Chain A
C-alpha cells in the first residue's frame, strides 16, 4: 500500500496528534482551553490552529505543491509570531506534525521509505521560517507606520514637509 493511502486512513488520528502536540507547546494551565477547537470566536487560537493543521495534513496526503501550504502555514505562524515564543518554537510545530506522521508510518513501512517521505515535510520548516520573518517584519513595519501616521499629517499642514501634489504631476505631463 502506498504511504499516502495509509495516511488517508489514519488522517483523523494524525490531525488530532499534531494538534495535541502543538497545543502542548502552550502553558499547561491553558491547554484545556486552547484544545477546544469548535469555538471560532471565543477561542480563535485553538480554532485557527486546528483548522490549519487539518489543511496541512490533507495537503501532505494529497501530495500538493509547496505553494498550497503557504496559506494554512500563515494562519498558524501569524499567531505564534506575536505570542511568547522564540523563533524556533514559533515555527517548530512542523516537526511535531512530522512526528505525528512518523508514528503512524513506522509500523508499516521501511525506514528508507519513511525517511524519503518525511524529508519533504522538512521543506515546510524552511517555508515556515520565511513566513515567520514576513510577519516579524510586518510588526516593525507597523511600528514605524504608526509613528508616521501620527505625525505626517501635521508636518504637512504646517508646511514643515511637502509632497508633490497629483495636480503638479498632471501639469508637468503637459510640458
Chain B
C-alpha cells in the first residue's frame, strides 16, 4: 500500500511557492482533449473558396498534413502582415507585459489557464516574431523572449488562437491600447495559410460563398421560411404579411444573420422584424443573395471577409435601394463599422440614411449608409410612432447582455435598453463591471459556438452567466435579451448549465410582442405561441 499516493498528492500540485516552477515556454506540447478544441476543416470546404492546403484534417492527428515549407510560409506571412498592418507591428513591439489585461479575459477567468491571459496569448506569437524579426531576439534567443517556430509551437498557437473570441474586453484595459483581438485575427490568418481552419468556421464560409448565407439556405427555401413565419404571425395577430423579397427599387435593403431565419429563438426575432416593418409601412426588401449579415470569413482572413461582405454591397447596388437596415447581429456590425470603409471607401451609390417614418437623419451612418435596427426602432419609439401594451411582456423580468461587437465595436449601449424599457415593465441591469463596454463575452463568439467545445464555451461563458445569476437571485430575472445571433445560439445552453430558468430573446421579439398593430385581433399568444399573461386559460 505504501506505493499508493495520498489523495492530496494525486490531485494537487500543492506548490505554495510564489514563483512558477516551470517557465511558460517549457510547457509544450499542448494536449488536445475532447471539449477543448474545434474539429478540423473538411478539404472540400477549403477547396471551394480556394483556401491553401485543402485536405481533411484533425487537430489530434500527429501529422497535420502541412506543406513541406510550412515554417517559411508562416514566417513570410508574419513579414507581409508586419509590413501591411501598422497596428500589428506596433502591437508586437510595445507590450511591456504590465499584466493589466491578464485577468480581464473570460477564458482566463473561467479556466485559470495562464495561456488564456491576453498578454500571454499574444506572447505566444510575439516570441516567434522576436526570433525572426528583431535583433534582440536573434542575438539573445530565449533570454530575449524569443523562440524557434517548430511544430509544437505551431500547435500551441493554433490551440490558443481558437480559445479567443476576439471580444476585445482586454483591449479596454491596456494602457497602450493593444488590441489582442487583432493579434488573434492575424494569428488565425497565419493558420489559414496552412489550411489549419476549423470545420465550424470553414463550413459556413464555403456555404456563404455558394448561397450567400452560412447555413446554405437557397433562395426558394429562404422565401418559404419567411412565408412560414408569416403564417404564424397571421395565426397570432390575424394580420397577413407578404414578405417583400428581392424587390428592385425598394427604399431599404434589410440584412440580418441567417440564424434569425432558422434557429430558435432567432426566428421569433425575424417574425418581429416583419411585424414592425409592416406596422410602419416600411418600403423595404429582403434579399436571397445578401441573405447573411454575419461574416465567418472574418475569422479566416480579411480577404475572405471582404469576399463575403461584397454580396451585401453589390446587392444594394443591384436593387437600387437608398440605404441598408441591419438586423440584430454581432460581428456583422464589427465588419461594417471597422472594415467596410477601408475596403470600399465611403459608399457613393447609396444615400445618407433618413428614417422615412420620422425624418430622422442617421448622421452616424453618413459614411457606410447602414443603420442598426435598434437605432431605427429606438427612434420610432422616441417619436411615438409605435403603440405598446407592455403588460403582454409582464411575465418577463428582463436583463440585457451587451454583445461584444455592438458594445465595444460601436458603442451601442443606450438604444437597446431604451427599447426594452419601453416594451417591458420589468428590466434590471447586471452589475456595472459586467455590462456596456465591460461586458463579458457569451463564450462562443468568433466561430467558437461549435457543439464539440461545449466545455470550453461553458467555462468561457461563466463570468457572463455568473452576473445573470446575480440578477436572477436578486430580482427574479427570467429573460436574457440581446442583439446578436451568436448570443441567441450560445446563451440558451449557457443559461441551462449555470442559471436554469433564464431564457434568451432578441430585443425585436420583445418589441413585436408588445406592439399593438393596426387591425390585429385580440392577442392571446406571444410569438413563441405561448399564452400571454392573463390569457392562460383561453
Interface residues, chain A, with chain B CB atoms under 8 Å away: 20-22, 24-31, 33-34, 40-45, 48, 78-79, 82-84, 88-89, 92-93, 95-96, 98-99, 135, 138-139, 142-143, 145-147, 149-150, 152-154, 157
Contacts and interface: CB of A to CB of B under 8 A. Distances in A.
B454 A20 contact: no
Q: Report whether over half of chain B's contact residues are helix, strand or loop; otherwise say mixed.
A: helix
Given A138-B497, A149-B492, A154-B225, A42 B109 contact: yes
Nearest to B14: A24
Q: 4 closest A-B pairs (Cβ-Cβ)? A: A92-B11, A95-B7, A29-B114, A44-B466
Contacts of B16: 20, 24
Contacts of A24: 12-16
B173 to A, nearest CB: 11
Given A24-B15, A26-B112, A42-B109, A79 B462 contact: yes
A45 B109 contact: yes
Interface of B: 6-8, 10-17, 19-22, 24, 33, 35-36, 102-103, 108-114, 117, 225, 228, 262-264, 267, 431, 433-434, 451-452, 454-456, 458-459, 462-463, 466-467, 470, 489, 492-493, 496-498
Contacts of B24: 29
Q: Report whether over half of chain A's contact residues are helix, strand or loop; otherwise say mixed.
A: helix
B112 A142 contact: no
A111 to B, nearest CB: 16
A41 B11 contact: no
A28 B462 contact: no
Given A40-B470, A41-B470, A30 B114 contact: yes
A99 B14 CA distance: 12
B433 A149 contact: no
Nearest to A28: B20
Contact of B8 (A34, A99, A142): A99
Given A84-B111, A92-B7, A143-B451, A149 B431 contact: no
Contacts of B11: 25, 88-89, 92-93, 95-96
A142 B497 contact: yes
Contacts of B102: 33
A149 B263 contact: yes
Contacts of A29: 20, 24, 114, 117
A25 B489 CA distance: 33
A25 B13 CA distance: 6
Given A29-B24, A82-B456, A84-B36, 14 more contacts: A22-B12, A26-B112, A27-B112, A28-B22, A29-B117, A44-B462, A45-B462, A48-B466, A79-B459, A84-B113, A89-B11, A98-B7, A153-B263, A153-B267
A24 B467 CA distance: 25
With a 10 A CB-CB cut-off, give which of A27, A147, A150 has the most chain B CB atoms.
A27
A145 B493 contact: yes
Nearest to B456: A82
7 contacts: A30-B108, A30-B112, A40-B431, A41-B466, A79-B459, A95-B7, A139-B35
A45 B103 CA distance: 12
Given A24-B13, A24-B15, A41 B463 contact: yes
B159 to A, nearest CB: 12
B65 to A, nearest CB: 27
A147 B496 CA distance: 15
B12 A25 contact: yes
A166 B69 CA distance: 63
Contacts of A42: 103, 109, 433, 463
Contacts of B110: 44-45, 83
B114 A27 contact: yes
Nearest to A139: B454
Contacts of B463: 41-42, 44
A26 B20 CA distance: 12
Contacts of B462: 44-45, 79, 82
A25 B228 CA distance: 53
B112 A45 contact: yes
B144 to A, nearest CB: 21
Contacts of B431: 40-41
A157 B456 CA distance: 33
A28 B451 contact: no
A113 B456 CA distance: 44
With a 10 A CB-CB cut-off, give which of A42, A96, A149 has the most chain B CB atoms.
A42
A92 B6 CA distance: 11
B108 A82 contact: no
B240 to A, nearest CB: 18
B455 A139 contact: yes
A52 to B, nearest CB: 13
A31 B108 CA distance: 12
B458 A139 contact: yes
Nearest to A147: B451
B21 to A, nearest CB: 7
Contacts of B498: 78
A89 B458 CA distance: 18
Nearest to A30: B112
Given A30-B112, A41-B467, A142-B497, A83 B10 contact: no
B262 A153 contact: yes
A30 B13 CA distance: 13
A95 B10 CA distance: 10
